[in-house]
């Protein structure tokens, strides 16, 4: 049971007219996190689709902004799985600045679907075991 941690750099094109990181950038960072965690589990998205015939999709995203991030910030991201069901998972994200101040929290719910029939599919025992590595259940 562990968290995935990584850094994101803030670029000039990510700054909005108010001078802080635009809200849509957080969505991009969530995508980066999802791709990273799958890769850490040994699953590349293209391989899942090609080899197993399954693809992950999102069904819900929530973001709470606590403190703005600016061009000069380095963003420290923490990610983990808070709930693991048979066909879905809830992923948690925390975004901190270099002072370790919480800037945003996010949660996404995703599931695996069969690529051909576009319907949810249960995780295989191997997939479940890979996800459990990052499972930190809610209290």
Task: List domains and CATH numbers for the chain.
Answer: 4-132 (3.10.129.10)
Give 11's pLDDT tier (boundaries 50, 70, 90).
very high
pLDDT surpassing 80 at residue 47: no
The alpha carbons of the chain give a radius of gyration, in whole angstroms, of 16
pLDDT average, residue stretch 39-58: 80
The three-state secondary structure class of 7 is: strand
pLDDT surpassing 80 at residue 52: no
For position 123, what pLDDT does the model report? 85
Give 46's pLDDT tier (boundaries 50, 70, 90).
confident
Least Cα distance to 7 among 106, 103, 73 occurs for 73
Least Cα distance to 58 among 36, 106, 90, 25 occurs for 90
For position 139, what pLDDT does the model report? 65
- pTM above 0.85? yes
Which segments of 33-73 are extended strands (E)? 54-65
pLDDT surpassing 80 at residue 7: yes
Q: d(Cα 36, Cα 54) in Å, to the nearest integer?
A: 18
pLDDT surpassing 70 at residue 114: yes
Taking CA atoms, 71 is separated from 21, 46, 132, in Å, by: 7, 33, 35
Identify whether the C-beta of residue 15 lies closer than 8 Å to the C-beta of residue 72: no
Digit-coded pLDDT (tens) for 73-101? 999 999 999 999 999 999 999 999 999 99
28: left (phi over 0), alpha (psi -120 to 50) or beta: alpha
């Amino acid at each position: 049971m562990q968290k995935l941690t990584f850094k994101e750099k803030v670029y000039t094109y990510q700054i909005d007219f108010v001078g802080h990181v635009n809200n849509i950038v957080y969505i991009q960072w969530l995508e980066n996190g999802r791709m990273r965690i799958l890769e850490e589990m040994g699953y590349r998205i293209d391989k899942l689709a090609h080899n197993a015939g399954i693809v992950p999709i999102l069904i819900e995203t929530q973001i709470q902004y606590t403190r703005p991030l600016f061009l000069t910030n380095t963003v420290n991201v923490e990610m983990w799985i808070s709930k693991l069901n048979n066909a879905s998972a809830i992923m948690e994200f925390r975004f901190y600045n270099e002072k370790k101040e919480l800037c945003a929290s996010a949660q996404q719910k995703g599931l695996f679907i069969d690529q051909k029939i576009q319907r949810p599919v249960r995780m295989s025992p191997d997939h479940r075991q890979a996800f459990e590595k990052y499972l930190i259940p809610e209290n």
